[in-house]
Structure 1
Amino acid sequence: MSSNVFNLPNIGKPIELTDAGVYCSINRKTGEVNNLFNLVFEDDDWYLFQLKNTSKEGDISWVILADNSEYALKTCHITEVKYHFDHPQFAEPNGAWQLMRNARYGFGKFTPLHADEPCLFAMILFSQETKTPIEIDGKLLEIPTMLVPLLIQKSQDEALQTLSELGR
């Protein structure tokens, strides 16, 4: 059986400091921004925030995406990446995924096989109810099931990028 997931060190671009910043999900029908996310590298760890309304009318703030006090995103082993992405619905386009996650949320970077195509990004939600045991480096680990990844794009808008400087 052929695989649509390739060995990341060979062709995948790593998640780098230049990937930090504000990302948005766009409604495909209307072209409007649905959600804003902020990928932050701080104190040697990656964190993912979402811009949300606060209880005070008209106020917004960045809220960390995490559950169970596991805030930092950790890089996923290639075995886990294959477990999540080696399925028919991800067969095209061919390329390599880099993935980092905490218990509930993740950030993914997809490098297409063809160098002339841009990298794609995703915010990913993981199920806390459904976990699958998979073997990684000789250890049996309980891996949460990935729910549908949400494609996001890095904002080039300076006004949106300045939102990342709001208090977190």
Structure 2
Amino acid sequence: MQSSPSMQFGQPISLDDQGIYYTVNRKTGGINNVFQLVYEDDDWYLFQLKNTSKDGDMAWVILADQGDYALMSVDTGTVRQLFDKPEFSEPKGAWQLMRNDRYGFGKFTPLLPAAPIRYAMVLFSGEEMLVPLLIEKAEDELLQSLASLAR
């Protein structure tokens, strides 16, 4: 199915997408990584929950490289170029992407309205996109409570 030029290229990343995200270990079913997408002072930021060196305490660490903290929207042409690969051909849909120099946050809106919206944390090496890491938005109260940890 060809997309028409007037078709919206995916749902934009919006304030509703703020929150806690996590990855699941496919073998154990446990949570591997926890991320937080935050909109603050007119900018988007991506944090990861990490162990500190203090007695196993956890803290939010901003995902950035060399002071490039805020995530900026990636233009539609670049998004199409990055995701125009066989591994992204199914399911049909469109990506929206924000990134800083090294890290990005992606939102996939499927063409079929009944299919779920998906999210990804993306690493970059220069302009090359490494394999996106599928992340799930936390809906339960336990994971949402992680947002209260100090950033």
- Percent identical among aligned pairs is 59
Quick check: 1:40 aligned with 2:43? no
Q: Provide the secondary structure at the position in 1 that maps to 2:27.
A: coil
Return structure 1 stretches of 4+ with deviation > 3 angstroms. Answer: 5-9
Q: What is the aligned partner in structure 2 of residue 150 from structure 1?
A: 133
| 2: CA distance, partners of 1:6 / 1:32 | 41
Query: Residues 109, 9 of structure 1: CA spacing in aligned structure 2 closer, same or farther, 3 A cutoff?
Result: farther
Flag the 1:39–1:63 CA change in 2: closer, same or farther, 3 A: same
Greater percentage in strand = 1
> What is the RMSD of the two structures over their aligned residues, measured on CA atoms?
1.8
Equivalent-residue separation in structure 1 for 2:123 and 2:6 (angstroms) = 22
Counterpart residue number, 1:31 = 29
Gaps of 5+ in 1: 129-143
Deviation of 1:29 (Å): 2.2
Q: TM-score, normalised by structure 1?
A: 0.85
Letter in 2 for 1:31: G
- The number of aligned residues is 151
1:125/1:148 contact within 8 Å kept: yes
Are positions 1:166 and 2:149 aligned together? Answer: yes
Q: 1:66 aligns with which of 64, 67, 78?
A: 64
The answer for the alignment partner of 2:73 in structure 1 is 75
Consecutive unaligned residues of structure 2, counting only runs of 5 or more, are: none
For residues 4 and 20 of structure 2, the distance between their equivalents in structure 1, rounded to whole angstroms, comes to 28
Letter in 1 for 2:140: D
**Residue equivalent to 2:95:** 97
